[in-house]
């Protein structure tokens, strides 16, 4: 007999995966790494022919550089998993689909503020993160127009924090009923402004 699924649990559970966009800095590091690796290979070949005694040093440099490039590559693919469970949101960072690290955990009822991270009209920040002691980042790209911020009380570190992330529409709708009345009004206003903006750009 098949296992029965509790519909109420489905309503109170949702997972979202966000893939971190690779920065220009990381792309440059990859290119420079390959150039250095090719240069070391070329030098190793020349040294092995001219001075056999230096071949060992060249080989060691080649292995060391190769390991560094491998380490960088293994940390390039970063994903964030947002898990909503009955009014609580857990955020985890996943590197190379293997290593997990908890970013934060918070009750939506305890959220002090929510908003768009960027102003869609001028691209300016809507919040000054320098005013917050603990800044938690779990966003696809901080320039993404769908990037949000929430002021939370992190259960992992037991202190207030600002979380920057990219909730999809389902995640936003899941947390909406748990927001305070004031934040529900702000959320509805944000959604209406976004709809108007989308209509004007169509």
With beta carbons less than 8 A apart as the criterion, state whether 156 and 89 touch: no
- Under the banding of pLDDT at 50, 70 and 90, the label for residue 4 is very low
Residue 36 in domain: no
- The confidence score (pLDDT) of residue 23 equals 64
Alpha helices, H only, the chain: 7-11, 24-50, 55-74, 169-175, 181-201
- The confidence score (pLDDT) of residue 67 equals 72
pLDDT at position 29 over 60 = yes
- Under the banding of pLDDT at 50, 70 and 90, the label for residue 6 is very low
Q: Residues 35-44: pLDDT tens digits?
A: 766 776 666 6
Residue 171 in domain: yes
Residue 163 in domain: yes
With beta carbons less than 8 A apart as the criterion, state whether 160 and 152 touch: yes
Residue 62 in domain: no
Q: How many domains does the chain fold into?
A: 1
Residue 172 in domain: yes
Q: Residues 130-143: pLDDT tens digits?
A: 999 999 999 998 88
Structural domain boundaries enclosing 177 = 108-201
Residue 150 in domain: yes
């Amino acid at each position: 007999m098949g296992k029965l699924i509790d519909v109420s649990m489905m309503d109170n559970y949702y997972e979202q995966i966000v893939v971190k966009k690779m920065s220009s800095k990381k792309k440059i590091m990859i290119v420079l790494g390959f150039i250095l690796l090719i240069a070391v290979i070329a030098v190793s070949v020349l040294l092995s022919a001219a001075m056999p005694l230096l071949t060992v040093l060249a080989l060691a440099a080649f292995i060391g550089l190769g390991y560094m490039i491998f380490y960088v590559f293994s940390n390039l693919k970063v994903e964030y998993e947002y898990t909503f469970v009955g009014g609580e949101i857990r955020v985890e960072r996943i590197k190379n689909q293997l290593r997990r690290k908890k970013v934060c955990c918070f009750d939506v009822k305890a959220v002090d503020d929510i908003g768009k991270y960027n102003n869609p009209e001028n691209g300016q920040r809507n919040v000054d993160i320098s005013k917050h002691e603990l800044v938690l980042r779990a966003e696809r790209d901080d320039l993404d127009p769908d990037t949000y911020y929430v002021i939370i009380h992190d259960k992992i570190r037991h202190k207030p924090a600002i979380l920057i992330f990219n909730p999809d529409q389902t995640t936003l709708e899941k947390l909406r009923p748990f927001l305070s009345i004031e934040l529900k009004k702000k959320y509805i206003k944000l959604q209406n402004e976004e709809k108007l903006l989308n209509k004007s750009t169509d």
